[in-house]
Amino acid sequence: MTVLSAADVSYLAEVPELLVAMDFDGTLSPFSVDPYNCRAVPGAMDALHTLAGLPGTSVMVISGRNIELLSAVTELDASRSAQAARGGDGIIRMVGSHGAEPADKPLVKLSDPQRELLSQLALFAEQQAQRDPGMWVERKPVAVGLHTRGAKDRSVAVTAAQEYQDFALDCEGAKVTVGKDIVEVSVVSATKGGYVSEFLAQATPAIDAVVFAGDDTTDETVMNILRPGQDIGIKVGEGESAATRRLPDPEAVRDFLQQLAQARAARG
Ligand SMILES: [Mg+2]
């Protein structure tokens, strides 16, 4: 893996049809204990807005957050985002719940067993969260996340997260994702990679290159579907990844997006 280079920026600036897809937490924004009180680093969303208005440039923010929370922190309007149609139309596409909740599509309707499973997961997660006042449960339309970042006692948090995970592994139809200080259990099998893959298959005109940045395990599903020699995956921060490039933090991602916007705006 290498640091993203000026040559990468030039390549991405020149391709006719580009998809810029970004994770949010830990990629565009630093981490925060309060899920609402968190914003992209200054300039990052502006750069995405600029990119979205350039010809042949599609922009997507794809997150594990549900659309409501993603909309709050990106300050993007979900109904406007739902109008995103083609590259250069100036609209940033929002995709929530790991691809299960794109702003432009109604949420999949859950079956009775799925709804029952979701409420069992919520009940169990709430019980775990009560063990430490810093833990909390995020209820999403298709998943329940147990957040442990704010826990006062790390060992309590680790045990609670492990027990939630073990409980979920015994539930048929539950999909467990372990991220940074969150164990999330979904009742549908959406992944970010599955969403991006389908988006590429359906895009007209075809997307010549994707640049995707992400910091967490769920982002690896995208890294794994990127086309070698054509798309560029950027791992943000430390850790193993299938990405071919790395940037240290959200500030560096912002700087990259600004450079890309400038270079792409200047192309002939
Ligand atoms: Mg992230």
Write the CB contacts of 201 (distance below 8 Å, at least 6 apart in sequence): none
User: How many angstroms separate the alpha carbon of residue 227 from the centre of ligand 1?
Assistant: 21
The pLDDT, as a whole number, for residue 259 is: 98
Query: What are the two backbone dihedrals, phi and then psi, of residue 197, each rounded to the nearest 5 degrees?
Result: -60, -45
User: How many angstroms separate the alpha carbon of residue 215 from the centre of ligand 1?
Assistant: 5
> Which residues of the chain form CATH 3.30.70.1020?
112-186
Here the tokens at position 254 are 């912002």
The pLDDT, as a whole number, for residue 105 is: 85
User: How many angstroms separate the alpha carbon of residue 6 from the centre of ligand 1?
Assistant: 24
User: How many angstroms separate the alpha carbon of residue 15 from the centre of ligand 1?
Assistant: 26
β-bridge partners, 62:
95
The pLDDT, as a whole number, for residue 137 is: 96
Which CATH architecture is the domain 2-106+190-266 placed in? Answer: 3-Layer(aba) Sandwich (3.40)
Element (H, E) at 138: strand 136-139
> Which residues of the chain form CATH 3.40.50.1000?
2-106+190-266
The pLDDT, as a whole number, for residue 268 is: 58
The Cα 95–Cα 105 span in angstroms is 10
Pick 112-186's CATH classification: 1.10.8.60, 3.40.30.10, 3.40.50.150, 3.30.70.1020. Answer: 3.30.70.1020
Question: To the nearest whole percent, how much of the chain has pLDDT over 90?
Answer: 86
Q: Give me the tens of pLDDT residue by residue for the chain, a chain 268 residues long.
A: 888 999 999 999 999 999 999 999 999 999 887 878 899 999 999 999 999 999 999 999 999 998 999 999 999 999 999 999 988 899 999 999 999 999 998 777 899 999 999 999 999 999 999 999 999 999 988 999 999 999 999 999 999 999 999 999 999 999 998 988 999 999 998 899 999 999 999 999 999 999 999 999 999 999 999 999 999 999 999 999 999 999 999 999 999 999 999 999 998 5
User: How many angstroms separate the alpha carbon of residue 62 from the centre of ligand 1?
Assistant: 9
Q: How far is CA 209 from CA 8, 136, 138, 206, in A?
A: 11, 39, 34, 9
The Cα 175–Cα 157 span in angstroms is 20
User: How many angstroms separate the alpha carbon of residue 170 from the centre of ligand 1?
Assistant: 27
User: How many angstroms separate the alpha carbon of residue 113 from the centre of ligand 1?
Assistant: 30
Element (H, E) at 261: helix 250-266
User: How many angstroms separate the alpha carbon of residue 266 from the centre of ligand 1?
Assistant: 30
Cβ-count burial of 165 within 10 angstroms (0-12 exposed, 13-18 middle, 19+ buried)?
middle
The Cα 190–Cα 193 span in angstroms is 8
The Cα 131–Cα 191 span in angstroms is 30
